[in-house]
Chain A
Amino acid sequence: MKFLIDRLAFRDALQRVEMAIDRKPTRPVLGGVLIEAHNDSVVLMASDLDIAVRYRVQQVQVDQPGWAVIPGRELVDIVKDLEAETVTVNLKGGDQCELMAGEDVCDLVTMETGMDLSNTPEAFPAVPMLEGGPDLTVAKNDFLMMVGATRFATSRVQDNRFATEGVLLELRDDTVTLVGTDGRRLACIHRPAISHKADRHRSVLLPKVLDQILRYGQDEDGEEMAIHFLGNLVGFRVGNLESFGRVLDREYPNYDNVIPKDGKHSVRAHRESLAKKLRLASHLTTDAAAVVRLEVSPDRMEVRSEHEGRGRASAALEVDYVGDGLSAAFNPAFLLDGLKASHTDQIELQMEDGNRPAKFTLGDGFHYVVMPLSTTG
């Protein structure tokens, strides 16, 4: 294997697969990057079994096809710090892979190599080929926004019963839905599918693959996100980037039942001013069990907080509300999370009463349900 590659293109490609390099590999090969030199392109792959990434680079000149698995972290760091415009990658005899850039030369010890591209590596995990048409396509910008709107609400700890540390991806009636919840709040967003093969689909994805797509998907050419359902994996393709995420096989809560249909009280507020008032009030809450109380009266909302021994805050803003008043306590961080993910200037809060779930509408097809807090005694 020998090829000449544009250094920046190489660096960027490695950045895209970096998240899939296992930092604490159980098998050494999981800490490696598989480089395949084809006649017209170089393909980089990494997999830690939770997430796999394949990235194709065209800015190359391949002298000799072949493949090699090279220590991933070292490769990423070295290419970052090389200075020349191009890098020559040359698989020498033995188990050395030479990286040459201008005057600088680094030899990396390979983990596995092969001359023949039809002979796939033995130890390196197989990354599926995305062949045939996708099962589902969604507008790329829609999809990235959907991830941003739900990822934050996922649980940070693993529950044995429900796969709430993951994000639910659902296809139903031409609509794609993403849901994230940690049992205390739930974010749910719908977008129309551009095309789909299957009528219905449901899988819970580890958030890591979505984080990777959110980070690098925007830079890729192409307006569509192609999604392939591959059994225990889901594959995403946009531009030259192919990302694969493991599917969690535990149940996911029935989100439909959690989202209230509507509420007796309906409050419309300006997103940015509500966020400002919430931030202000949250300065005077105890850090661990932060509570703000929203007091809504006709056309006015007051955000109140109190920190024993430090003081209290009361911030008011104008809202659209008609009714006999509403009062509910919330964790301000939960509300601010939602407002940050929102992509609209006017948000709506619907609530039956102060003890029932609050439904925020934070954009087109974007609902965020938060359970208000209660105090004992």
Chain B
Amino acid sequence: MRWNILLCVAIEPRGVPNSSTVSGSASQSHTRILALDPIVVDQIAAGEVVERPANVVKELVENAIDAGATRIEVLLREGGARRIEVRDNGQGILVEDLPLAVRSHATSKLREPGDLEAVASLGFRGEALASIASVSRLEIISLPSGQKDAASLLVDFGKVEVPRVAAGSLGTRIVVDDLFAQLPARLKFLKRASTELAHCTAWLERLALAHEGIGFRLEHDGRQLLEIAADADLDARCAAVYGPGLAGRMLPIERETGPLGLQGRIGPPESARRDARRVDLFLNGRWVRDPRLLRAVREGVREFVPTGHYPTLCLQLAIAPDRVDVNVHPQKTEVRFRDERLVFGAVLRALQEALADSRWSTRSIGPIGRSGAFSTPTTTDSSPGSGAWSSSSGTSSRDFRSWDSTGGGDVAAAGDGGKGEMQESRLPLASSAETRVVGPVLAVANTFLVREVEGGMEILDQHALHERVNLEELRRELQQGQVVAQPLLVPSLVDVGRAELNLLMRRQKVFSQLGVEIEAFGENTVAIRTVPARLTRLVPEKLVRDLLAIAEENKQATPDRIAEEMLHSMACRGAVMAGDRLDAEALQGLLERGADLPQDRTCAHGRPVRVFLTIEDLEKAFYRRM
């Protein structure tokens, strides 16, 4: 779409005179092939780099960072569509270099082809300024140290004027006015000022997170939106970006793996949300949105955050520039690693380690939110057995909310201040080991187990708990090489395709480590000799389907990875379901096993295992305490 429009502009006769004289004999009905006017070329190129004001902010601020600035100010008007002004105190541009700066593929950051192999600066393509200059009214005022006066260069939608002497302080000030004003097709695609501002803010926040040692300030229509001092550390930067409440609960990530260094902060599970907007990944200071890295994030948090959710995460990856190719995408948000597996694995483990050490009280639900997990519309009939709950919770719906998956997502979407996380619980941190069980257990709807614990009450999800119990026990057995297998009286035969059989047989060894011994039986049948002893309700055919799905989705994966996938699948398959009736003994057994767990907050899919209500919560629900 965009291309077509721009090409239409290109074949208007404005750049034609030279070629028309040479080819006078050509038929008039032919559409001639012509070289494009350089300004049009830049405008087309701008389509790749500059889509909206936020891209301009990003490019200009990155230039400022590359110029060694320690303080960068961004001033916007009307979401950046009217004016974007970026001031820095960097090294500045020499007056004689000014015209070159706005020429495409002119850059100070690469010198020879070899430099591309190890790009250390944020920019390098030499496109940004030229692109911006071609679609806006751009002014550069720069004063490099050692030069007497500041110089100013004006570019009016691609037309470069002569540098003039101007008033300016040390560093560079770039003003971009009326972005896309002469390109109605592009202008049409700009959203409301508030939306464009949000995008600009997001970019500045990302850059601020990645660059300690640089101060950032953002002002919009005269109002200051962000202020980060140059000496602010990562925690202070997280507080400015994610909000102090969440930042205070974020956990540090610190890991060195060979050539790769990782550091950052990760937010608690209750701050998880359905989109990845709060996942900020930085590669050597550059914000990236790489699908493979995002996948590593999802895998790393899968046991802590509900399936399909992303944590609040700020993670900086440092790797030697020659081990990564950033020249994949014009906006440089995708990258290619020399050793993808190493990076993937390191990210995954770093997140797992950070979360495993955590002691969050995800079990607690704070007196927060609007409608919540406990809210039952008082007007509708409640099902039998839930009557007591709904009547008491009808009034409390404003006060309670569990951080369950839907709740978390909704709040994230509707959250105040755009911070998108759930509000902080006021409860002290607690782990299961610190909680003393007081009362008997009540099973509600054969799904939820309710019991009194010290300081309040606890509601457990029997399936989630059992799944987690299974997962931890299985994992321990696997680590000890002691998985108990139950041989079958007669090997169970399951028909599969020939290709599927090959896929299964390739993974024969890792399957057998988890108690599943398979053999090929003819060309398209697999014989199962043993099944894991704990999966007493397992149907061999279903097991084979599960294994196939795992093998299919992880064709290139290591055996460890396959084993991990199997653990999750088996833990879930072997667990009691919601609605399964458990007798008192089974209940007690399950709770006892649950008490021994190293991690008991979430099930293997990241859904919560338990929700905790303090006496105070209950008092509030009944208006005994306001």
Q: Which residues on A are within 8 Å of B, measured CB to CB?
A: 156-161, 181, 183-186, 253-254, 257-258, 286-289, 291, 308-309, 329, 331, 355, 357, 369, 371-377
How distant is the Cα of A291 from the Cα of B490 in the complex, in angstroms? Answer: 21
Which residues from A are CB-within-8-Å of B187? none
Known: A289-B473, A375-B482. A161 touches B489 (CB 8 A): no
Contact A331 B490 (CB under 8 A): no
Interface residue from A161, A308, A373 paired with B485 (Cβ < 8 Å): A373
How distant is the Cα of A376 from the Cα of B492 in the complex, in angstroms? Answer: 19
Question: Smallest CB-CB separation from A291: which chain B residue?
Answer: B484
Which residues from A are CB-within-8-Å of B533? 289, 291, 331, 373
Contact B489 A258 (CB under 8 A): yes
Contact A159 B486 (CB under 8 A): no
B603 at the interface (CB under 8 A from A): no
How distant is the Cα of A157 from the Cα of B533 in the complex, in angstroms? Answer: 15
Complex interface residues of chain B between 452 and 472 (CB less than 8 A to chain A)? 469-470
Number of interface residues of B (CB under 8 A): 38
Interface residue from B470, B483, B492, B537 paired with A377 (Cβ < 8 Å): B483
Q: Which one of B68-76, B496-504, B507-515 contacts A?
A: B507-515
Question: Smallest CB-CB separation from A374: which chain B residue?
Answer: B485
| Chain A: minimal CB distance from B246 (Å) | 37
Contact A158 B481 (CB under 8 A): no
| Chain A: minimal CB distance from B521 (Å) | 13
Interface centre among B485, B494, B514, B533 (most CB of A within 10 A): B533
B125 at the interface (CB under 8 A from A): no
| Chain B: minimal CB distance from A9 (Å) | 32
| Chain A: minimal CB distance from B493 (Å) | 7
How distant is the Cα of A301 from the Cα of B482 in the complex, in angstroms? Answer: 24
Question: Smallest CB-CB separation from B589: which chain A residue?
Answer: A287
How distant is the Cα of A11 from the Cα of B311 in the complex, in angstroms? Answer: 61
| Binary flags per residue of B331-358, CB closer than 8 Å to A gives 1, else 0 | 0000000000000000000000000000
B574 at the interface (CB under 8 A from A): yes
Which residues from B are CB-within-8-Å of A308? 476
B370 at the interface (CB under 8 A from A): no
Q: Can you list 5 A-B pairs with a CB-CB distance of less than 8 A?
A: A157-B537, A161-B494, A183-B540, A375-B484, A376-B481
- The B contact surface, by secondary structure, is mixed
B530 at the interface (CB under 8 A from A): yes
Contact A371 B489 (CB under 8 A): yes
Q: Which 10 A-B pairs have the closest CB atoms?
A: A377-B481, A289-B534, A288-B534, A289-B484, A376-B483, A371-B487, A289-B533, A258-B489, A287-B589, A374-B485
Which residues from B are CB-within-8-Å of A160? 539, 541
Question: Smallest CB-CB separation from A377: which chain B residue?
Answer: B481
Contact A374 B489 (CB under 8 A): no
| Chain A: minimal CB distance from B474 (Å) | 9
Q: Which residues on B are within 8 Å of A, measured CB to CB?
A: 469-470, 473, 476-477, 480-490, 492-494, 512-515, 530, 532-534, 536-541, 574, 589-590, 593, 596
Known: A376-B512, A376-B514, A376-B515. A156 touches B537 (CB 8 A): yes
| Chain B: minimal CB distance from A61 (Å) | 40
Contact A161 B490 (CB under 8 A): no
Contact A288 B489 (CB under 8 A): no
| Chain A: minimal CB distance from B504 (Å) | 17
Contact A372 B481 (CB under 8 A): no
Which residues from A are CB-within-8-Å of B541? 159-161
Which residues from B are CB-within-8-Å of A376? 481-483, 485, 512-515
Contact A287 B593 (CB under 8 A): yes
Contact A159 B490 (CB under 8 A): no
How distant is the Cα of A229 from the Cα of B574 in the complex, in angstroms? Answer: 38
Contact A157 B539 (CB under 8 A): yes
Interface centre among A253, A254, A375 (most CB of B within 10 A): A375
How distant is the Cα of A230 from the Cα of B66 in the complex, in angstroms? Answer: 89
Contact A373 B493 (CB under 8 A): no
Which residues from A are CB-within-8-Å of B530? 374
How distant is the Cα of A32 from the Cα of B143 in the complex, in angstroms? Answer: 94
How distant is the Cα of A161 from the Cα of B541 in the complex, in angstroms? Answer: 9
| Chain B: minimal CB distance from A254 (Å) | 8
Q: A288-B593, A376-B512 are in contact. List 19 more A-B contacts (CB 8 A).
A: A156-B537, A158-B539, A159-B492, A159-B539, A181-B489, A184-B489, A258-B489, A288-B469, A289-B533, A289-B534, A329-B484, A369-B489, A371-B487, A373-B486, A374-B485, A374-B530, A375-B485, A376-B481, A376-B483
Which residues from B are CB-within-8-Å of A375? 482-485
How distant is the Cα of A185 from the Cα of B533 in the complex, in angstroms? Answer: 12
How distant is the Cα of A158 from the Cα of B539 in the complex, in angstroms? Answer: 7
Which residues from A are CB-within-8-Å of B540? 159, 183
Which residues from A are CB-within-8-Å of B485? 373-376
Contact A371 B482 (CB under 8 A): no
Contact B489 A183 (CB under 8 A): yes
Interface centre among A160, A186, A371, A374 (most CB of B within 10 A): A374
Which residues from B are CB-within-8-Å of A253? 489-490
| Chain B: minimal CB distance from A189 (Å) | 17
Contact B488 A184 (CB under 8 A): yes
Which residues from B are CB-within-8-Å of A288? 469-470, 473, 534, 574, 593
Contact A371 B537 (CB under 8 A): no
Interface centre among B482, B489, B534 (most CB of A within 10 A): B489
Question: Smallest CB-CB separation from A287: which chain B residue?
Answer: B589
| Chain B: minimal CB distance from A13 (Å) | 28
Which residues from A are CB-within-8-Å of B473? 286, 288-289
Which residues from A are CB-within-8-Å of B532? 289
Question: Smallest CB-CB separation from A253: which chain B residue?
Answer: B490
Question: Smallest CB-CB separation from B575: which chain A residue?
Answer: A288
Contact A161 B486 (CB under 8 A): no
Known: A159-B541, A287-B593, A288-B574. A331 touches B486 (CB 8 A): yes
| Chain A: minimal CB distance from B495 (Å) | 9
Which residues from A are CB-within-8-Å of B490? 183, 253-254, 257-258
Contact B489 A377 (CB under 8 A): no
| Chain A: minimal CB distance from B515 (Å) | 6
Question: Smallest CB-CB separation from A369: which chain B residue?
Answer: B489
| Chain B: minimal CB distance from A123 (Å) | 29
Which residues from A are CB-within-8-Å of B469? 288
Known: A158-B539, A289-B477. A373 touches B484 (CB 8 A): yes
Which residues from B are CB-within-8-Å of A286? 473, 593
How distant is the Cα of A185 from the Cα of B488 in the complex, in angstroms? Answer: 8
Which residues from A are CB-within-8-Å of B486? 184, 331, 371, 373
Contact A377 B482 (CB under 8 A): yes
Which residues from B are CB-within-8-Å of A372? 487
Which residues from A are CB-within-8-Å of B515? 376
| Chain A: minimal CB distance from B492 (Å) | 7
How distant is the Cα of A289 from the Cα of B483 in the complex, in angstroms? Answer: 9
